[in-house]
């Protein structure tokens, strides 16, 4: 641990993590220095909103980056910990990835089901025409 002074502020550094948080727009070298916990292009910034461009999950307010856009929910095969994080509304408890539901499971949208068919709020065993 050592002490130093920058821009008239007294700071303490330990293991290269600043104890003073910078506001958005201020220069930074890593996200731990920012109150927003996000250092982007060497400036503290807000994390990105849904549909804004991203390359990593941590860049998004939702913590989900899918196909280079911030997403509200995790897509199929994306990492998850609970069902509600997934577009498909089902998180495999062993593999910790979003999966589609089997026939007979409850659903609200066709894309939640392996068969891609949700009828009467239940996944069908196989695709047999139009969705709900």
* Structural domain count, the chain: 2
User: Is residue 62 situated within a structural domain?
Assistant: no
Q: What is the pLDDT of residue 70?
A: 95
Q: What is the pLDDT of residue 132?
A: 42
User: Is residue 92 situated within a structural domain?
Assistant: no
User: Is residue 8 situated within a structural domain?
Assistant: yes
Low-confidence ranges of the chain (pLDDT < 70): 1-19, 127-132
User: Is residue 36 situated within a structural domain?
Assistant: yes
User: Is residue 114 situated within a structural domain?
Assistant: yes
Q: What is the pLDDT of residue 7?
A: 52
User: Is residue 73 situated within a structural domain?
Assistant: no
Q: Give the C-alpha separation, 2 to 19, whole Å.
A: 12
User: Is residue 26 situated within a structural domain?
Assistant: yes
Q: What is the DSSP letter of 54?
A: -
Q: What is the pLDDT of residue 19?
A: 63
Q: What is the pLDDT of residue 96?
A: 94
Instruction: Check the CA dihedral 92-95-98-101 and report its sign.
Output: negative
Q: What is the pLDDT of residue 127?
A: 55
Instruction: Note down the domain range covering 22.
Output: 2-44
User: Is residue 61 situated within a structural domain?
Assistant: no
């Amino acid at each position: 641990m050592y002490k130093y002074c920058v821009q008239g502020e007294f700071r303490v550094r330990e293991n290269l993590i600043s104890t003073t948080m910078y506001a958005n727009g201020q220069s930074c070298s890593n996200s731990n220095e920012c109150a927003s916990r996000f250092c982007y292009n060497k400036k503290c910034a807000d994390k990105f909103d849904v549909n804004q461009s991203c390359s990593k999950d941590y860049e998004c307010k939702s913590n989900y980056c899918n196909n280079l856009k911030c997403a509200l929910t995790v897509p199929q095969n994306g990492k998850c910990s609970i069902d509600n994080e997934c577009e498909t509304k089902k998180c495999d408890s062993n593999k910790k990835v979003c999966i589609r539901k089997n026939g007979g499971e409850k659903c609200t949208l066709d894309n939640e089901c392996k068969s891609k068919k949700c009828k009467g709020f239940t996944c069908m065993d196989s695709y047999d025409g139009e969705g709900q």
